[in-house]
Chain A
Amino acid sequence: MNIVLVFNLTGIILLFSSVFVLIPFFASFFRAGDDMSALGISFLATFFAGLLLYFLTKSQEKIELKHRDGFAVVTISWMAMSFFGSLPYLLSGVALSFTDAYFESMAGFTTTGASVFRSLEEVPDGILLWRSLTQWMGGMGIIVFSLAILPLLGAGGMQLFKAEVPEIGVEKLRPRIIDMAKSLWYIYAGLTALLALLLTVAGMTVFDAACHSFTTMATGGFSTKSASVGHFQNTYVDIIITVFMFLAGVNFSLHFYALRGDFSKFARSSEFKFYCLVILCSIIVVTFNTYNTEYASFQESLRYASFQVVSIVTTTGFATADYEIWPVLSQMSILCLMFLGGMVGSTGGGMKQVRILLMLKQAYREVYHLIHPHAVSALKLNDRNIPKETLGGIWGFLFLFVLISIVAILIMSALGVDMVTSVSTVISSMSNVGPALGEAGPAENYAGIPDAGKWVLVFCMLAGRLEIYTVVLLFMPIFWKK
Chain B
Amino acid sequence: MVPMRIIIVGAGEVGFQLAKVLSAENIEVVVIDKSKEKLKRISEELDVALVEGEGGAPSVLEEAGANQADILLAVTNIDEANMIACLVAKVMFQIPRNVARIRNLEYFSNEVLLNSLGINPAISPEIEAAKAIIRLIEVPFAADVDDFEYGKIKIIGFRIPSDSKLIGKAFKNLDLTKPKVLIGAIQRSDLIIIPSGNDTLKKDDIIFVPVPLENIDAVCSSIGGTTTPVKRIMIVGGGRIGFYVAKTMEERNLSVKIIEHDSERCKFLLKSLNKSVILHGDGSDQKLLEEENINDMDVFAAISNNEELNIMASLLAKSRGVKKVITVVNKTDYLPLANNLGIEAVLSPRLITADTILKYVRSGNILSLTTIAEGKAEIMEAEAKEGSVLIGKTLREVELPKKTLIGAIIRNNNVIIPSGNDKIAGNDKLIIFTLKDSIRQVEKLLR
Contacts and interface: CB of A to CB of B under 8 A. Distances in A.
Are A and B subunits of one complex?
Answer: yes
Interface of A: 62, 67, 154-155, 157-158, 172, 174-177, 179, 387
Interface in B28-81: 28-30, 36, 44, 46-50, 65
B437 A179 contact: no
Contacts of B23: 155, 176
B47 A157 contact: yes
Contacts of B44: 67
B154 interface: no
Interface in B374-421: none
Nearest to B20: A155
Given A155-B24, A179-B28, A174 B47 contact: no
Contacts of A177: 47
Given A172-B50, A176-B29, A179-B3, 7 more contacts: A154-B437, A155-B24, A172-B49, A175-B48, A175-B49, A176-B28, A176-B47
B24 A175 contact: no
Contacts of A155: 23-24, 46-47
A155 B30 CA distance: 16
A174 B48 CA distance: 9
Sorted nearest first, the 7 A-B pairs with minimum C-beta distance are A175-B49, A175-B28, A158-B47, A172-B49, A177-B47, A175-B30, A155-B47
Interface string B408-447: 0000000000000000000000000001010000000000
B437 A175 contact: no
Question: Which of B5, B47, B48, B435: most chain A Cβ within 10 A?
Answer: B47
Contacts of B28: 174-176, 179
Contacts of A157: 47
Interface string B130-169: 0000000000000000000000000000000000000000
Contacts of A154: 437
Nearest to B50: A172
A155 to B, nearest CB: 6
Nearest to B26: A176
A177 B46 CA distance: 10
Contacts of A67: 44
A395 B28 CA distance: 34
Interface residues of B, number: 17
Contacts of A172: 49-50
A157 B47 CA distance: 9
Interface of B: 3, 5, 23-24, 28-30, 36, 44, 46-50, 65, 435, 437
B390 to A, nearest CB: 22
25 contacts: A62-B435, A62-B437, A67-B44, A155-B23, A155-B24, A155-B46, A155-B47, A157-B47, A158-B46, A174-B28, A174-B49, A175-B28, A175-B29, A175-B48, A175-B49, A175-B65, A176-B3, A176-B23, A176-B28, A176-B47, A176-B48, A177-B47, A179-B3, A179-B28, A387-B36
Contacts of B5: 175
Contacts, number: 34
Contacts of B47: 155, 157-158, 175-177
A157 B29 CA distance: 16
A176 B6 CA distance: 12
B113 to A, nearest CB: 31
Contacts of A62: 435, 437
Nearest to A384: B52
B401 to A, nearest CB: 12
Nearest to B36: A387
B438 to A, nearest CB: 10
B81 to A, nearest CB: 22
Most buried by A among B3, B30, B49, B437: B49
A179 to B, nearest CB: 7
A93 B189 CA distance: 61
A481 to B, nearest CB: 19
A67 B437 CA distance: 19
A174 B29 CA distance: 9
A67 B45 CA distance: 9
Contacts of B3: 176, 179
A387 B52 CA distance: 13
A67 B40 CA distance: 13
Contacts of A176: 3, 23, 28-29, 47-49
B287 to A, nearest CB: 48
Nearest to B47: A158
A181 to B, nearest CB: 11
Nearest to B52: A384
B21 to A, nearest CB: 12
Contacts of B46: 155, 158
A172 B49 CA distance: 7
A176 B44 CA distance: 14
Nearest to B402: A60
The winner among A67, A172, A177 for most chain B CB atoms within 10 A is A172
Contacts of B49: 172, 174-176
Nearest to A158: B47
B194 to A, nearest CB: 13
A56 B161 CA distance: 42
A363 B33 CA distance: 32
Nearest to A177: B47
- Counting chain B CB atoms within 10 Å of each CB, the highest count among A67, A157, A176 belongs to A176
A177 B50 CA distance: 12
Contacts of A158: 46-47
A158 B48 CA distance: 9
Contacts of B24: 155
Contacts of B30: 175
A387 B40 CA distance: 13
Residue among A174, A175, A177 with most chain B CB within 10 A? A175
A463 to B, nearest CB: 24
A479 B435 CA distance: 32
A178 to B, nearest CB: 8
A163 to B, nearest CB: 13
A154 B48 CA distance: 13
A179 B5 CA distance: 13
Contacts of A174: 28, 49
A62 B24 CA distance: 14
Contacts of B435: 62
A328 to B, nearest CB: 48
B35 to A, nearest CB: 13
A174 B5 CA distance: 10
A160 to B, nearest CB: 11
Nearest to A154: B437
A176 B48 CA distance: 6
Nearest to B48: A175
Contacts of B65: 175
A139 to B, nearest CB: 24
A177 B23 CA distance: 11
A345 to B, nearest CB: 16
B155 to A, nearest CB: 23
A272 to B, nearest CB: 20
A176 B28 CA distance: 6
Nearest to B6: A175
B106 to A, nearest CB: 35
A62 B3 CA distance: 25
Contacts of B48: 175-176
The interface centre, meaning the residue of B30, B48, B65 with most chain A CB atoms within 10 A of its CB, is B48
A31 to B, nearest CB: 42
A174 to B, nearest CB: 7
A157 B24 CA distance: 12
A179 B4 CA distance: 13
Nearest to A180: B49
A193 B47 CA distance: 31
A482 to B, nearest CB: 20
A73 to B, nearest CB: 16
Contacts of B437: 62, 154
B378 to A, nearest CB: 14
Nearest to A62: B437
A387 B39 CA distance: 14
A176 B29 CA distance: 8
A79 B171 CA distance: 50
